[in-house]
Amino acid sequence: MSRTALLGTGGMKMPMNGLILTLFAAVLGLGSAAIAAPGGKLDTLPQGQYRCALPGDAAGAAWIPLEDRNFTIGNGSTYRTHQGSGTYLLTGTRVTFTRGPLKGLKFERTGSDSLRWIDDKGEPGRVRCVRSGFAR
């Protein structure tokens, strides 16, 4: 059997290897478009300990720590808390905890090391989480 294939009606011949490479390139192009995430580029947060707090007021402490919201980002899209570990998804600037003790919590990335809580209505909340150290 011939190692060429006829393409189109003009009778142009292309070696079978060329056809395979062309199809492979087309599939790669489609593959990269298929993995693009709605809402932005997939990414991961910087590894380290994130400390969460509510803003205080002028009459008292500047921040009110929320120990039950603290977490540590590890390799890939993983995190851990005192209650266990889980995974998160970062698309664009939106962080969504998808498994584990913080499942369902959403944050907006407001800087390279800071997050702002997003409530159930999609509105920014008062809770802030800031990376305060390296992962242990």
| Mean pLDDT score, 98-126 | 97
Of 4 and 67, the one with more pLDDT: 67
Each residue's pLDDT tens digit, 11-28: 545 455 554 444 444 444
Of 71 and 16, the one with more pLDDT: 71
**Percent share of the chain, pLDDT over 90:** 66
Each residue's pLDDT tens digit, 76-106: 999 999 999 999 999 999 999 999 999 999 9
Which residues are CB-neighbours of 50 under 8 A, at least 6 positions away? Answer: 70, 71, 72, 73, 115, 129, 130, 131, 132
Positive or negative torsion for Cα 111, 114, 120, 123: negative
Of 61 and 26, the one with more pLDDT: 61
What is the pTM for the complete model shown? Answer: 0.69
Q: Does residue 73 carry a pLDDT above 50? A: yes
Cβ atoms of 50 and 129 closer than 8 Å: yes
